[in-house]
Amino acid sequence: MSSKFALMKNRTGDLTMQKIQLGTAEAKFSGEVLSVSTGRVEREWIVTKKGLFTTMFRLAKDPTRNVAGDSDLPAWHLYHLLRDDDIMELEDIVFSPVRNSPLTADHLRVEVCCRYPRPQLQVVYVVDVYPASWGIRTSLRLKYLYHPVDEQVPSFAGPAWSDALTFHTPFKTMEAAGYYNDTQHRNYPTTPLLLEQKLPMCEQSVDWANIFLGYWGNIAFAMVKESPKCVNQPSLDTGCFEITPQHIRNTGLALHTRRRTLLPSEAYHESWGTWTILTPGDKAELCHAIRDFDRQRFPFRAQRDTWIMANTWGSRGAGNRSRSACEQSNILRELESCADLGIEILQIDDGWQCPPDPENPFDVDWMEPNPERFPDGWTTVRQAADKKKIALGLWFPWKASTDAILNNIRNGGFRRIKLDFVNTSTYEDFHGLMAKARAIIEATANRCAINWDLTERSARVGYFTGREYGNVYLANRPAPPPDIRRLDHVAYIPHLHLRDAWHLAHYLNLNQFQLSIQNHERIPEFVSDACRHPQTYGFAIAMMGMPLFFQETQFLSDSARAALRPLIHRYKQVRDTMLACFVEPLGGEPDNRSWVIFHHYQPDAGNGFLSVFRELQNRDEKGVIRIPRLAGRTLECTDLVTGERRVLRMNQDGETHLAIPQSGSFLWWQYRSL
């Protein structure tokens, strides 16, 4: 055995054999080897005086598919904080089941507790093992065991990493993927939500991506940063992927952005998490494995999160124009309108807290309904909502105090809180925001949750953090009066909003993203072609995720309302089944000329949903769609709009022909395999 793998005993003697199971998940430690298994993938480390080193990462119970091990790279490396001659002492390994958490799915947690004597540094390597998942999550916790003088603490700058792997065989191909925020300024054909790039087969650093993907042909690997990084917003020391065709390191420990040094009186410093994912198959299967792991890390809570929402912003323009929608009399009208359409929650946006025409609408120490707008506080609105069986939501700036938020929740019975204007410039800001969200969840017994916001470029929660507390409001897409031109850049354009949903579905679960519905008749044709689409087309896009009427629905015409009511009713009948499905994006990328497909599926089931959009400038009434998961099947399809049934035969490539006579329209089918 090389000196690199010299075994390290804990300070109090040998650790005894430990083993724990939860469903198909298992973790055990024997002498010097830590091994975990989800039932689908297995990973193993050897504990040494230089840290933990991965000795195996493979598909479960298949030794021929071990892709990693014999690494020169320790699982973590703390640049500048540790010297080459520093020795790690293993103090304890703690195994615990995590059950019935409101924040994540049931799993096993392993905490490897270590100490470095010279720098007096405590390190905990956390391993989360979710049963039947295709991946494993790791993270680091750090703190000093003494009170250092700030000037004497080593620089945090440098390529510190929190997880690393060495692969037995170089990848055949590599790529990276990442999502943009600032959706408010990315509403053009040239500003997609998703960036995917093939990577050259050489040593490199990729600092913009959320996800690394590597392929060996019949096995695929991914590493995901659980951090607020976006392509256009690095956020808080989220680092990069340092890559060669045979190695990967995930750098960025959120250290650079702390206000203070690591003090022993504080809680541990938490690094960003890392997901390591392995699956048989091609990119489609790897994308599914990422979505599957995402669903366990950030589970969809049906009782908490299943809503068709309306929001009072979006119909009057910016600033005080839209704040004027937050008058008690207008909220009562909106409740009537929502009840008529079948909308289940009305969120009161910015304006409720301030008087009409305020000099500074946010200059309030204790946020409560302004008496000029709401003469009796929330009483009348809450009673009207209860009578209509509609829930209420409320907007807050992110710096509002937790006490003020909870006070309004108690008085108004709110079920959804939107936190806006987030700009977490420090580690403490970010974790303070997460603590606020957690306090809301705990105080309301998980009945009230958060809407996060991706509309600006500032450092917010991104796509891979915060979703244990709620879901994501994707984009402002208003329809102000025609004489207001300053919001043209955020106008609702159907094919661009469809593209956003299609891009999200590549790696994420759409049931955690709010997709906007706008009043097509109020959008001028010189800004958008929305008016050339039926109102039902906009709802059909939104029901791929979580529908959000970003508008005052009372302004919808009688004809639009008449078209929406039966579609909303039908959607609610099958919604629970749809939301339980995974969604994969197929067909052509939305460009206003394509056949666009969303396939709702369960991997081992013979039923699901197909949503096919024939875009407005697509001149072909007939087309060929390809759904590889359904190759060779015969399907009985029910049109959920008309009720008609038909048999669809998929060839061995998963292809079939269909027709949509009218461009700018859609098919929505529920299928079962015959």
Q: In what order do the strands lie in the sheet with 241-244?
A: 161-166, 247-251, 241-244, 204-206
CB 668 within 8 A of CB 602: no
The pLDDT of 356-378, averaged and rounded, is 90
Gap between the Cα atoms of 668 and 639, Å rounded: 6
Residues 425 and 442 in one domain: yes
Residues 137 and 54 in one domain: yes
pLDDT tens digit sequence for 206-230:
999 999 999 999 999 999 999 999 9
- Which residues, including other chains, have CB under 8 Å from residue 499's CB and lie 6 or more apart? 192, 193, 589, 590, 591
Torsional class of 46: left (φ above 0), alpha (ψ -120 to 50), beta (otherwise): beta
pLDDT at 159 (0 to 100)? 79
CA distances from 349 to 408, 518, 566 (A): 14, 16, 28
pLDDT at 6 (0 to 100)? 40
Which residues share a beta bridge with 622?
A: 659
Gap between the Cα atoms of 415 and 156, Å rounded: 41
In this predicted model, which residue has the larger pLDDT, 4 or 99?
99
CB 274 within 8 A of CB 137: yes
pLDDT tens digit sequence for 47-60:
999 999 999 999 99
Residues 555 and 495 in one domain: yes
Torsional class of 444: left (φ above 0), alpha (ψ -120 to 50), beta (otherwise): alpha
Q: Which tokens sit at 669?
A: 């089918």
End-to-end CA distance of the chain: 58
Q: Which of 166, 178, 247 has the alpha carbon at shortest distance from 207?
A: 178
CATH code for the domain of 494: 3.20.20.70
* Percentage of residues of the chain with pLDDT beyond 90: 87
Residues 315 and 371 in one domain: yes
Is pLDDT of 257 > 80? Answer: no
- Which residues, including other chains, have CB under 8 Å from residue 414's CB and lie 6 or more apart? 391, 392, 393, 394, 408, 448
Among 157-171, 405-419, 657-671, name the one with the lowest average pLDDT: 157-171
Residues 149 and 203 in one domain: yes
Interstrand relation of 204-206 and 241-244 (parallel, antiparallel or unpaired): antiparallel
Name the strand (E) or helix (H) holding 225: strand 219-226
Residues 565 and 516 in one domain: yes
Work out the number of other CB atoms within 10 angstroms of the CB of residue 59: 18
Residues 155 and 61 in one domain: yes
Confidence of residue 265 (pLDDT cuts 50, 70, 90): low
Name the strand (E) or helix (H) holding 560: helix 558-579
Q: Which of 583, 602, 580, 607 has the alpha carbon at shortest distance from 670?
A: 607
Residues 488 and 401 in one domain: yes
Torsion of CA 526, 529, 535, 540, to 10 degrees: -140
Confidence of residue 360 (pLDDT cuts 50, 70, 90): confident
Q: How many domains does the chain have?
A: 3
Residue finishing a domain among 530, 561, 580 = 580
Confidence of residue 18 (pLDDT cuts 50, 70, 90): confident
Q: Tell me the residue type at 668.
A: W
Confidence of residue 15 (pLDDT cuts 50, 70, 90): low
CB 272 within 8 A of CB 254: yes
Residues 77 and 200 in one domain: yes
Contacts 24+ apart (CB under 8 A), 95-101: 95/18, 95/19, 95/20, 95/27, 95/29, 96/20, 97/20, 97/22, 98/128, 99/22
Residues 277 and 347 in one domain: no
pLDDT at 359 (0 to 100)? 83
Q: Which of 402, 427, 418 has the alpha carbon at shortest distance from 228?
A: 427
DSSP letter string over 18-83? EEEEETTEEEEEETTEEEEE-SSEEEEEEEETTEEEEEEEEETT-GGGEEE-S-SSBS-B-TTTS-
* Cα angle: 181, vertex 258, 255; to 5 degrees: 80
CATH code for the domain of 645: 2.60.40.1180
Q: Tell me the residue type at 544.
A: M
CB 547 within 8 A of CB 517: yes
Confidence of residue 10 (pLDDT cuts 50, 70, 90): very low
pLDDT tens digit sequence for 631-645:
999 999 999 999 999
Is pLDDT of 364 > 90? Answer: no
Is pLDDT of 11 > 60? Answer: no
CA distances from 602 to 4, 328, 581 (A): 45, 44, 5
pLDDT tens digit sequence for 143-173:
998 887 777 777 766 679 999 999 999 999 9
Q: Which tokens sit at 395?
A: 């907007």
Residues 277 and 325 in one domain: no
- Which residues, including other chains, have CB under 8 Å from residue 53's CB and lie 6 or more apart? 4, 5, 45, 46, 71, 73, 74, 75
* Percentage of residues of the chain with pLDDT beyond 70: 96
pLDDT at 412 (0 to 100)? 98
CB 510 within 8 A of CB 583: yes
Domain limits at 251?
3-297
Average pLDDT, the chain: 94
Residue finishing a domain among 545, 580, 615 = 580
pLDDT at 261 (0 to 100)? 67
pLDDT at 88 (0 to 100)? 97
The pLDDT of 519-536, averaged and rounded, is 96
Burial of 61 (0-12, 13-18, 19+ CB in 10 A): exposed
CATH code for the domain of 205: 2.70.98
pLDDT at 4 (0 to 100)? 37
Residue finishing a domain among 297, 320, 353 = 297
The pLDDT of 309-317, averaged and rounded, is 96
Confidence of residue 80 (pLDDT cuts 50, 70, 90): confident
Q: Which of 641, 515, 494 has the alpha carbon at shortest distance from 567?
A: 641
CB 592 within 8 A of CB 637: no
DSSP letter string over 514-533? EEEE--GGGS-TTT-SGGGS
**Angle 402-412/379-388 helices, nearest 10 degrees?**
50
Residues 320 and 419 in one domain: yes
Which residues share a beta bridge with 607?
A: 672
Confidence of residue 14 (pLDDT cuts 50, 70, 90): low
The pLDDT of 251-279, averaged and rounded, is 85
Q: Which of 475, 517, 498 has the alpha carbon at shortest distance from 308?
A: 517
Place of tokens 């479960």: 60
Gap between the Cα atoms of 592 and 496, Å rounded: 8
pLDDT at 153 (0 to 100)? 74
The pLDDT of 275-303, averaged and rounded, is 98
